[in-house]
Amino acid sequence: MNEEQLVRAVARGDRAAFEELYRRTSPWLAVRLRRRCADEQVVAEVMQETYLAVWRAAGSFAGAAVDGTAVGWLWTIAARRLVDAFRGRARQAGPLPAAAAAPAAEDEALAGAFGDDVGGALRDLAPELRQVLQAMVLDGLTVRETAVLLGVPEGTVKTRARRARIAMREALS
C-alpha cells in the first residue's frame, strides 16, 4: 500500500494503516521539522498534533484529485502546526531583545546544506521568496501544496518562485 492508500484506510478507522503511515513518514517528518526548529520539545509536540490531526481528518484528504500527495498533505498539516507553535510561544514570551535574537534554525540548516555562496544568496533573499524556495526545493512540495502551506494564491507562489530564481541567479553570477 502506498501512502495515499494508507491515508484512505486511516479515514475508514484502520489503526494498522495509521501505524504503518506513522512508521513510514515520522522519521522523514521529524527531520523536516528539525530543519525549521531546534527545540526538540516543540518538534515532539508538533509531531503529536500532526498525527492526531491526520487520524481525525484523514477523510478530508483529496489526494491526486487535486494534484496532491499524502506526504505533501501531511507536511502541510505539520508546517501549520509548527507555525501555530511558534506563534503561541511568541505570545507567551513577548518580543526578544535585539541582542538575544539568533539566526533561525532553518537559516542555519540552509547555510550548512549549501556552500557559502549559495547559502549566503539564500539568506539574502527576501523572506517570502526564501519560504517559497524552501517549500518547493527543499521540501519538494508542488505549487499547490506550497500555496496551501504559505496561505497565498498559486499565482503568488509562481511569481515568488520566479523572482527567487532570478535573484539567486544574479547573486551567484
pLDDT of 118? 67
pLDDT of 44? 95
> In the numeric block, which cell numbers belong to residue 53?
490531526
pLDDT of 116? 57
Rounded to whole angstroms, the Cα distance separating 63 from 125 reads: 32
Mean pLDDT of the chain: 80
pTM: 0.57
| 64-122 per-position pLDDT tens digit | 655 568 888 888 899 888 878 877 776 676 544 433 333 444 444 444 444 456 667 77
Q: Indicate the SS3 state at residue 1.
A: coil
**Which amino acid, one-letter code, is at 66?**
V
pLDDT of 65? 57
Instruction: Kindly give, in sequence order, each residue whose CB lies less than 8 Å from that of residue 125, ignoring residues fewer than 6 positions away.
Output: 133, 164, 167, 168
Rounded to whole angstroms, the Cα distance separating 147 from 154 reads: 5
Rounded to whole angstroms, the Cα distance separating 107 from 143 reads: 22
> In the numeric block, which cell numbers belong to residue 60?
478530508
In terms of average pLDDT, the best of 66-70, 118-122, 127-131, 153-157 is 153-157
Question: Nearest to residue 54, comparing CAs of 81, 28, 35?
Answer: 81
